[in-house]
Chains A and B, each alone.
Chain A
């Protein structure tokens, strides 16, 4: 039994891990070696050439910058709006709490595509079309329900009594929040912020539809996909995967919270 478990785990890890290895290998191979056949499965001709060519292609560096700008603004905006709401969910038994929570869950199930096309129309009318602000708004809307649900779970982890203790000993509600709740919730909030960033980094359909020139990195890769050489596509693949590798490594502790329990 034990051996079978080990073998099965190894097999699944191979299935999950091999593509990650191969895309890294492909993106870090020289163009010349990518044209050879059969391709080598071992890192025999490592080179930064493919990646640097990719980064120098039209629109890629700008896309990278746009992706970063939009990702960070989305994080800031969704925390700004989401933290108070998450706190309210964790601490208050208010009227309408259940419908509110249900609405949050429902919006998570709303296909992005349904929002994107009408939003493009609305943004055209309001001057937000083809701006990083417009995409930030869409991405914040997508991330907000999750941010609220995750942060409310995080705030629940800091007992109410601790806040009360702070207030008994002379802290105002705001001081109690800042001195007692925030320091303890910070790692969780950071994980939630990273989740939001990755969501924004990965989102391609909305970003494609809402922009023309100010494309994000994935939107740029998608738009030029059909006309680009394989090497470009592999390099794009790696560029899109790397944040995921970092995010999962850092936020592993919170994964179950983010994708698991709060989904209910």
Chain B
């Protein structure tokens, strides 16, 4: 077992004019499951491929278990990987596919067999060992790819969008299974995805990436609750965090003729504009004749089964509000919304960075 440390990693592709990874440093503890998440082109796959040894960095180092592997080819790094396209070999049977890494290591036959069968069992592939990949469904191929990756007992497991080619239902099922398997193995895992829900559900920590940098790294709920910058709040969560511009005035946030209480920490921003953010599920609806909160009009109401997602318009623009399934509202209804001060996050309107 081994941790992974990435230091000042820089990579520019010859075709691109900006850096794919821009001076990234990152520490993955032994046995940790770290998810790299971000929109396409943010550099997460490049970072993973440099750890794998499939891409050579322009600068910086990669160490695995304390050993500097920056100049080593992939095969000498003692790691294992699941590819987005699965990359299982169509000309080999499932058995040979799972055992490919063991074959390369020249593992003796009896041990080869036990380890292949154990990996197959773990992924419910025992009945398919003598088939060719062409005879398997997409989900089964995915399982072969994972089985091949765990059969080698590598120190570090890399996964590059492993679930993105599965359909939605299968993806949810396999996600939980994957989490269970990796937890059981305890392997240090680096996992790349563009799906924020996947990142949240799998990672011990998530690193949200943007433009070749890590925007924020932390435990999933920490990052979700306290986005360090506007981008992170807008990227994580479905629906994403609501943002609106307000002016701080004598302990209140003023938007047009509406106002909500502001925390004392914003005193230094008196009479200046700031960006406020709030999650849809933290907004409460106060019905009846109450006078607290701000006024808003319902534009769309979307029941999702367990909740209702409202799109409302108020002085600060559009807001997504998530509420319990019991509420009966129709487009055009007027509501009063409470934006609890404790749930509000504040950002610099220029830089988008959170205010300390």
Q: Touching in the complex, A and B, CB below 8 A?
A: yes
* Shortest Cβ gap from B93 to chain A (Å): 13
Q: Is the CB of A180 within 8 A of B89?
A: yes
B83 contacts the other chain (CB 8 A) = yes
Q: Which residues of the other chain, A, contact B73 by a CB distance below 8 angstroms?
A: 167, 172
Asked if A165 is an interface residue, CB under 8 A from chain B, the answer is yes
- CB closest residue in chain B, given A166: B100
Known: A93-B14, A184-B91. A165 touches B83 (CB 8 A): yes
A110 at the interface (CB under 8 A from B): no
Contact partners of B81 in chain A: CB under 8 A: 165, 168
Say whether B80 contacts A169, CB under 8 Å.
yes
Q: From residue A124, how far is it (CB to closest CB) to chain B in Å?
A: 47
Chain B 99-127 interface residues, beta-carbon cutoff 8 Å to A: 100-101, 104-105
Query: Which of chain B's residues have a CB closer than 8 A to the CB of A183?
Result: 91
Contact call A161/B75, Cβ cutoff below 8 A? no
Do A172 and B75 touch (CB < 8 A)? yes
Q: Is A99 an interface residue (CB 8 A)?
A: no
Smallest Cβ-Cβ distance to B54: which chain A residue? A164
Most buried by B among A164, A166, A183: A164
Partner of A164, one of B79, B87, B90, B100: B87
Q: Are B74 and A167 in contact (CB under 8 A)?
A: yes
The CA-CA distance from A170 to B79 in the complex, in Å, is 9
Tell me if B152 counts as interface (CB < 8 A to partner A).
Answer: yes
Q: Decide yes or no whether B268 CB sits under 8 A from chain A.
A: no
Q: Is B15 an interface residue (CB 8 A)?
A: yes
| List of A residues within 8 angstroms of B101 by Cβ | 169-170
B75 contacts A171, C-beta separation under 8 Å? yes
Q: Determine if B42 is an interface residue (Cβ-Cβ < 8 Å).
A: no
User: Closest chain A residue to B104 by CB distance?
Assistant: A170
> Does A169 contact B104, Cβ atoms closer than 8 Å?
yes
Assess whether B194 is interfacial by the CB under 8 Å rule. no
Let me know if A40 is at the binding interface, CB within 8 A: no
Tell me which residues across on chain A come within 8 A of B148, comparing CB atoms: 165, 169
**A53 contacts the other chain (CB 8 A):** no
Digitize B165-201: 1 where CB-to-A-CB distance is under 8 Å, 0 elsewhere.
Answer: 0000000000000000000000000000000000000
**For window 239-256 of chain B, which residues contact chain A by CB distance below 8 Å?**
none
Cα-based distance from A184 to B89 in the complex (angstroms): 9
Contact between A169 and B85 (Cβ–Cβ < 8 Å)? Answer: no
Note all chain B residues with C-beta closer than 8 A to A166. Answer: 89, 100, 104
Closest chain-A Cβ to B278's Cβ sits at a distance in Å of 42
25 A-B residue pairs with Cβ-Cβ distance under 8 Å, sorted by A, are: A93-B14, A159-B85, A161-B84, A161-B85, A162-B88, A164-B52, A164-B83, A164-B87, A165-B100, A166-B89, A166-B104, A167-B54, A167-B73, A168-B53, A168-B54, A168-B75, A168-B80, A169-B80, A169-B100, A169-B101, A169-B148, A172-B73, A183-B91, A184-B89, A184-B90
Closest 4 CB pairs of A and B: A170-B104, A169-B101, A161-B87, A165-B87
New contact pairs (11) apart from A168-B75, A168-B80, A172-B75, CB-CB < 8 Å: A159-B85, A161-B83, A165-B87, A165-B89, A165-B148, A167-B53, A169-B75, A169-B104, A170-B75, A175-B104, A184-B89
